[in-house]
Amino acid sequence: MGFKEQVEADRHAVFVNLEEFGEVHRIDRKEVRAVTDRRERSGRDLDMGLSGDGMRIFARSEDMPPRRAPGMLISVDGTTYVVESWAEEMGIAEVSVIRAQ
């Protein structure tokens, strides 16, 4: 098995595996196996009126709802967030969001 095939296998079997890293989240109206990384904001972000609650979401690209541009809204587990960035690499979407106020 070559590197690309191993990455594809890991993407399905390990990364979003509910027994390893992944959890089920409701993103918009879809249930998505994802890994989240929550973070708190401070300083300049708070001065600009942005919430302190943000996170990064990692999920298989094909499981995610349609891609959003920065500034668009997305719902995660019933909370509305603003998309800061949305990148996809090797079949994994990485979406950075901040809670909308």
Asked whether 21 and 35 are in contact (CB, 8 A), the reply is yes
Q: pLDDT at position 100, please?
A: 85
Q: pLDDT at position 7, please?
A: 65
Q: pLDDT at position 91, please?
A: 86
- The angle formed by the CA atoms of residues 8, 13 and 14, to the nearest 5 degrees, is 100
Asked whether 41 and 53 are in contact (CB, 8 A), the reply is yes
pLDDT in tens, 20-61: 667 899 999 999 989 888 876 555 555 455 556 899 999 999
Mean model confidence pLDDT for the chain: 82
Q: pLDDT at position 28, please?
A: 95
Q: pLDDT at position 13, please?
A: 60
